[in-house]
Chain A
Amino acid sequence: MPNAIVTGFFSAAGTPLELWQRNPAVTSHPSACEYIHLDLSTESLGLTSRYNCWGFTFLPRRYWLSRSAVDALLQDNCVPVPNGSVEVGDVIRYRAYNPVGVLETTHTGRVWQTDGVGHATWIRSKWGPNYERIHEPLCPDLPESYGTDLAYFRQHSPLRGDSAQANKIADLWIKDSPSDNGQQGIRAPWWTSPDILVDVPPYDGAPDLNPVFDHPNRIWAVVRNRTDQRVDNVLVRFYWADPAAGLPASAWNLVPAAPGHPNPVGPISIDGYASVQTDYVEWVPTTAPAHQCLLAIAYVNDNPRDSGNPDPIVYPFDVPFDNNIGQRNVEVMTLKNGSSGEFSIRIANPFHTPNEVTGFITAVLTFSPRLPVIGFPRQIRPLQVLLSLDKAEAVSLRTGERHQSLAGRLIPGDPWRRERIVASLTLPQLKLPPKKAHRLDVRITAPRNAVKGAAYYLHIIQTVSGMVTGGYTAVVVVG
């Protein structure tokens, strides 16, 4: 494979970017990060000159970027983020002084984990032609030449292409939540995608609240393209899973294809800055166990070594990290004043690796007024929520405490669906073995004097090492 300059890529401000096509050969390395294919087979991302740290950060795994391209992208496609406000998915930039005292960009990566209060704790980056790894920002073996001048940025725009061309650059996006803006990063509740839709019998083509059991449900998705260039040959795979907070890849079940309704759906084309509604797949959920989690992946191919893929999947099965992937883990229930509803979900180890981890389950009850533009009542009457883990004695969510530390971190500001936290509870630390799930039973009772038409959201959030690793949301409408 010859080395070559690649043209036709631009920053958000239109600055041409210098990219190099280099030798795509990969040498396996035991410490290199792995890629999980859609069939769950894995491959080492290994050592390769195909892409460098800048290529990993901004054009994942496709090309080798020049430093001038990275400086242009940091300037045109990103905004600086002060330390203390750093989020997962933000860009970290390293700089060092050259011999004449000028600071030069030496390295970039993506924030892989934070301490929850705005400081990066782990970084994912590729070290030159070496391998992709996860490391502390200033780890002991960090190359001295990278320097210690660190800064953080948030990427607001993807790269642009030549809009007269097609299939060189794309950014396929399925919303993770109503307030998702397409940027990379974990912003819970990322399991509340409004882009995965269900039409139940009798079919009217309009989305319904919940799937129905034992009948074919029509599932489709809205897929957007955040760049200016048309992309062809897009496929969308649909999965179902048991309702759970924490879903390893092995718990994703491909919705079986039906005559005339293949899964994956496609190929489809999406114009630049446009969206499409896919064809539907047919899904027959059964009642035991309840199947109410739906997932969708938009992709062109599943080859992490294909430089020609306009939008590679970077983190397969990782809903919050990869905006090609969406999850709808939502149940909508209508409760009359004084009545109760119940459901159960699984609490599982969210990782693909065979190691036990420990985590926490936090339940957060929020309130949204009937007409958010009118505002909140002076006094919000909370629902009574009882949680029982593995059939243990039920515990109730607590009101009247300080819940504000959760706001912003778990519930993003959303001008269209303002939620105010009214009660919460964190269960004691939980061991999460690799192949065994806990069961969480939830009972919700609407107060007799609840405001009719108001909506409550019960977000059940799993965290491992301070990261939100899964969740389930029950929407309760007072009817």
Chain B
Amino acid sequence: MTDFRKDVAKIKNPEKIREALFASGPSILMRAFEKDPTVARLLQGGSRVVPLISEEIKKHGLKLDTITLSCFAYILQKVDVTSAAAILRPLFLEAMKKPDPFFACFAAHALRQDLKLPIKPYDPEYSFAELQETLAWVERTPNREDEDA
């Protein structure tokens, strides 16, 4: 049986993600994720990996490497976009105070899909204006976790 916890731990070191450290933008980073075997295994895990990634994000937040966070956002968005939006929302709000070209884009990609804003499925590269638009939408949309509570 696949040990998803081990794979999640592996992603925490961006050097272990094939070609991730050669990417000059989020779109090329997505191509790296698409070809990485660890990422592929986690995607196959589907909803089973969501709590593991959520746990890491809640524990370490923006202290995780931006490529690791981008990879987590990519996996979450692929396996469960609603959960992805809920998990990434507080981190995205925080990240937008000092936006980064990788994680801010991957988080926005998931949040925009959840918010039914226009996205290009295979291109998570967003302009700063689009990131701000996403931020504005996120800020004025109630958090589902709050509603559920």
Contacts and interface: CB of A to CB of B under 8 A. Distances in A.
Interface of A: 2-5, 18, 20, 22, 52-54, 64-68, 96, 98-100, 102, 104, 106-107, 127-130, 143-146
A99 B127 contact: no
Given A98-B31, A98-B123, A67 B19 contact: no
Nearest to A147: B31
Contacts of A107: 24, 28
Chain B's interface: helix, strand, loop or mixed, by majority? Answer: loop
Contact of A145 (B35, B100, B121, B122): B35
B99 to A, nearest CB: 6
Contacts of B99: 3-5, 20
A3 B100 contact: yes
Contacts of B9: none
A128 B98 contact: no
B32 interface: yes
B25 interface: yes
Given A130-B22, A145-B22, A99 B122 contact: yes
Interface in B77-112: 98-101
A52 B24 contact: yes
B23 A145 contact: yes
Given A67-B25, A67-B27, A127-B21, 17 more contacts: A3-B99, A3-B100, A5-B128, A18-B128, A20-B101, A22-B100, A22-B101, A52-B24, A65-B24, A66-B101, A98-B27, A98-B31, A98-B122, A127-B22, A128-B22, A128-B24, A143-B32
B98 A3 contact: yes
A138 to B, nearest CB: 15
Interface residues of B, number: 22
Contacts of A144: 19, 35
Interface of B: 19, 21-25, 27-28, 31-32, 34-35, 98-101, 121-123, 125, 127-128
Contacts of A2: 98
B31 A106 contact: yes
Contacts of A68: 125, 127
Contacts of A104: 27-28, 123
Given A20-B100, A67-B24, A96 B128 contact: no
A54 B23 CA distance: 11
Nearest to B34: A99
